[in-house]
């Protein structure tokens, strides 16, 4: 999970927890909502499982930050 140059959050605790988990996670699922007019609207990650109905069922979900909308209507990380 590389750091984004404009992201000043300390993610070391999260990286350590992923590295120390047993068994080591093999898949990271990220869900998102977007459209062509507004771009990225929502992004989340969390736990999911494939149900007997062959559908993906989300459990615990954490929302991740979405870049802010600037005056010109574009999304980008705040400076």
- Please give the chain's pLDDT, 79 residues, in tens: 456 666 666 777 877 887 787 776 567 778 888 888 778 888 888 888 888 898 888 888 888 888 777 666 666 655 4
Spacing of C-alpha 5 from chain mean position = 16
* pTM for the full predicted model: 0.45
CA 69 to each of CA 2, 11, 28, 78: distance values in angstroms, whole numbers, following the listed order: 24, 24, 27, 9
Domain residue extents for the chain:
27-76
User: Shortest CA distance to 33 belongs to which of 3, 66, 57, 1?
Assistant: 66
Question: Residue 49: left if φ>0, alpha if ψ -120 to 50, beta else—which one?
Answer: beta
């Amino acid at each position: 999970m590389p750091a984004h140059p404009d992201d000043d959050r300390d993610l070391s605790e999260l990286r350590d927890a992923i590295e120390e988990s047993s068994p080591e996670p093999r898949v990271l699922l990220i869900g998102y909502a977007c459209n062509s007019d507004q771009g990225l609207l929502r992004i989340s990650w969390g736990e999911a499982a494939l149900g007997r109905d062959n559908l993906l069922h989300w459990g615990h979900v954490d929302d991740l930050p979405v870049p802010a909308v600037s005056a010109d209507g574009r999304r980008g990380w705040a400076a």
